[in-house]
Amino acid sequence: MDYPEFKGRTAMITGGASGMGLLSGKKLAEAGANVVLCDVSKEKLEAAAEEIRAAGGSVLPLVVDIRHYAEVEQAERKAVETFGSVDILLNCAGGMSGRCCNCYKSFEELPIEVIDWGLDVNLRGAIYCCRAVLAGMMKRKRGVIINFGSVTGEEGGGGASLDYSAEKSAMRGMTKSLAILGAPHNVRSCCVIPGPVLTRPGMANMKTLLGRAAETIELVDFILYLCSDKAAFITGSAHVIDGGHLLVR
What are the helix (H) ranges across the chain? Answer: 19-30, 42-54, 69-83, 97-100, 112-118, 125-140, 151-155, 162-182, 216-227
What SS3 string covers 175-238?
Answer: HHHHHHHHHHHCEEEEEEEECCECCCHHHHHCCCCCCCCECHHHHHHHHHHHHCHHHCCCCCCE
Which residue of the set 69, 104, 164, 225 is catalytic?
Answer: 164
Let me know if 164 is a catalytic residue.
Answer: yes
Per-residue DSSP letter, 67: T
- Cα 37 to Cα 17: distance, rounded to the nearest angstrom: 7
Beta strands 187-194; 238-241: pairing state = parallel
Which residue type occupies 174?
Answer: M
Query: What is the DSSP pairing of strand 238-241 with strand 58-63?
Result: unpaired
Count of Cβ atoms closer than 10 Å to residue 136 Cβ = 18
| 8 A C-beta contact, residue 150 and residue 214 | no
Residue 10 vs residues 57, 104, 128, 144, 234: alpha-carbon distances, Å: 12, 38, 18, 11, 20
Please say whether the beta carbons of 225 and 1 come within 8 A: yes
Residues with a catalytic annotation lie at: 164
